[in-house]
Structure formats: C-alpha cells, structure tokens
Amino acid sequence: MSEQQENQIREAITRAIAENEVILFMKGTPEAPACGFSARTVGALQSLGVPFAAVDVLPDPRIRQELSALSQWPTIPQLFARGELIGGCDIVTEMYETGELAEVLGARATPESPTSPTVAAGAPLQIENRL
C-alpha cells in the first residue's frame, strides 16, 4: 500500500469520526454483525436507543490497519463518541452494565442485556463505506 493510499484512508477515518457523534467500527453491519463482539456492542447501543453510524472494516483490511494505527487500539470493534475512543467490546459491555455508557452517550439506561442485538426505535445510521 502506498503512503498516499494510507493517508487517504486515515483521513477518511478521521473525518468519519469527526462527522458522527457516535460511530462504531465493526466487523459486519449492525443488521448482520460478523462476530460476537461486534454483535454485543451493537446490542448495547441499540438497547440504549443511541443513534450511531457504523463502518464495516471487513471489506478492506487497510481500514482496520489504519484505524488501529490511529486509535492505538488493536481490536475490533471500536466505539467512538464525540471524537474520542470509548473502547472495544469488553469496555463497552462493562460501561453498559454499570450505566456509565448511557451517561457518556446521554441515553437512558435500560435493563436489557447487550449480549444480543435488539431493535431500537431508530435504525442505526449506516454510512457508506468509502474508506
């Protein structure tokens, strides 16, 4: 991969994080997560009714590579809120269970389990994966 391609992908990731209040970089889509960790993270967000954008990192391995270099976080999923990395599945799940995630995202906590996705009032914003 050329340095110019890496810079374009990194710039697109940075722009996506800046333009979306809550964005989840995940394996698969919110409607069809491709791993259990992504499914649990989506489930936590949906059970809180938090609107979020999502980017599937699977179609192009450069997305995951540049995202991890940018965030200094090696695993997927990665949740960002207002431009800041919240963390991966374990951190999001723990924050959900303690109510901290609802507080950070400005949502109302609900007693539902984030282990399986639930249908929220509004579908998550699926941004076009142009990275």
User: What's the pLDDT at 113?
Assistant: 46
Please state the pTM of the whole predicted model.
0.81
SS3 per residue for the chain = CCHHHHHHHHHHHHHHHHHCCEEEEECECCCCECCHHHHHHHHHHHHHCCCCEEEECCCCHHHHHHHHHHHCCCCCCEEEECCEEEECHHHHHHHHHHCHHHHHHCCCCCCCCCCCCCCCCCCCEECCCCC
What CATH number does the domain containing 70 carry? 3.40.30.10
Residue 29 lies in a domain: yes
Query: What per-residue confidence (pLDDT) applies to 95?
Result: 97
Instruction: Identify the domain containing residue 43 by its residue range.
Output: 3-107+122-126
Within-domain flag for 114 = no
Looking at residues 96-100, what average pLDDT do you find? 96
